Amino acid sequence: MAILYSLIARGSVVMAEFSGTTTNASTIAKQILEKIPGDSDTHVSYSQDRYIFHVKRTDGLTVLCMAEDNVGRRIPFAFLEDIHQRFVKAYGRAIHTSPAYAMNDEFSRVLSQQMDYYSNDPNADRLNRLKGEMTQVRNVMIENIDKVLDRGERLELLVDKTATLQGNTLRFRKQARRFRSTVWWRNCRLMFTLIFVLLIIIYIVLAFVCHGPLLPSCF
């Protein structure tokens, strides 16, 4: 799974989160929430080891996810934008007063579903390519996490590699199935074309042998 962890928060109050693997990303993410400078809307990314924490804050609502560094920025920020819209639509004004984890039971399932979609479904990236990469995402600089956390506060990021490998294996199997399906349809079309051409050749030969209009007399 390319996106391994996500949360949505008001300030430093986490209202829902989900982790697709065994990791301490939640602890580090909460540190980041407390240290993000200013109150204005922002798009920022922080790297730690081979993983990147992507953050989108709009109107006081912060959506954060942790993804593998080879995923790039377009997919994680498309995911964050999607989650932000779904959360606001689902809970409206309640997001301004809800206590910590008030929406976790319900919305963690949405986080899980969308993390899987943006990690494994090629249509997720294809759709965003058609829309064009968001301007604010192109301008996001990926900084080291030391920029927001003091070295004494920084924790070692722990990620269960087994779950990550399983996610990679699942993506490979899906890609392999799509490839086999594409090859099968291509072979079918080629076979139908050859059969059609062969039938035309047979018809032409029979028509020539039987002198054109007299073709039915050959049977």
Q: Are 159 and 21 in contact (CB under 8 A)?
A: yes
pLDDT at 73 over 50: yes
Band of the pLDDT at 172, cuts 50, 70, 90? low
CA 174 to CA 12: how far, in whole Å?
Answer: 38
Band of the pLDDT at 148, cuts 50, 70, 90? low
Name every residue whose Cβ is closer than 8 Å to that of residue 174 and which is 6 or more positions away in sequence. Answer: 120
pLDDT at 38 over 60: yes
b/e map 132-154, b = 16+ CB within 10 Å: eebeebeebeeeebeebbeeeee
Beta bridge partners of 19: 5
Segments of 69-175 assigned E as strands = 142-144
Q: Which helix (H) or strand (E) holds 159?
A: none
Q: Are 18 and 1 in contact (CB under 8 A)?
A: no
